[in-house]
Amino acid sequence: MAQLLKDGQVTDNTWTLVAEDAAELPAGDILVPLNLWQQQGSELDQHGGTVGVWLVGNEEIETVAELLIKAPVVAIKFPKFVDGRGFSMARLLRERYGYQGEIRAIGEIIRDQLYLLQRCGFNAFEFGAEVDLAEARKSLADFSDAYQVAVDQPVPLFKRR
C-alpha cells in the first residue's frame, strides 16, 4: 500500500485519487476532481467509501469554499513544484474559511517545500514511490522558529519574546 506523510508521521494512504477522465469510481475512500464533485454530488453521497475532493491552483477557491469546508480531505494538486498558488489556497482554507480537515499536497512537490507547505496549512503530503518518506519527514522541522505569521503560528516572533 502507498504511504504518505500526515501530521508528521508516515502512514498508509487509504485514499484513491480519481482522474478527471475516469469512467467509473473505484471502491473505498476516493479523492475526486472538483468538477466531478460539483456535478455528481448526489451520486457521490451514495458512494460506499468516504469522498474527498482535489483541485488545482487555477481554480477559484472563493467560489466553492462553502462546499469545500464540508469535505473530510481537500487535496491541492501542484502541476509544477514552482507553482505557488496551492500555498495560498491552503492558507485561505485554514484562515479565512476555518477548514479543520486534512489538506493534502499532491502532484509535483519537493522535500524542500514541506516546511513552508506545513506553515500554510497543509498537514498531509503525497509523494511518488521514489521518495523516502522517513527522510522527507525531517524537512518538517528544518527550522526551529519563524519570524513571520502563518497558519501554524499566528503571533509574530517579536511579540513572542
Q: What is the pLDDT of residues 66-89, one digit of tens each?
A: 889 999 999 999 998 888 899 999
The per-residue pLDDT for range 97-129, each reduced to its tens digit, is: 999 999 999 999 999 999 999 999 999 999 988
The amino acid at residue 140 is L
- pLDDT greater than 80 at residue 1: no
Q: Return the CATH number at 61.
A: 3.20.20.70
The helix/strand/coil state of 64 is: helix
When comparing pLDDT for 122 and 155, which is higher? 122
Q: 82 burial class (0-12, 13-18, 19+ CB within 10 angstroms)?
A: exposed
Domain containing 82: what range?
Answer: 3-160
* Number of domains the chain is built from: 1
What gap in Å lies between CA 28 and CA 41, rounded to an integer? 17
pLDDT in tens, 12-60: 999 999 998 888 889 999 999 999 988 887 788 888 899 999 999 888 8
- Percentage of the residues of the chain whose pLDDT score is greater than 90: 57
pTM of the model: 0.92
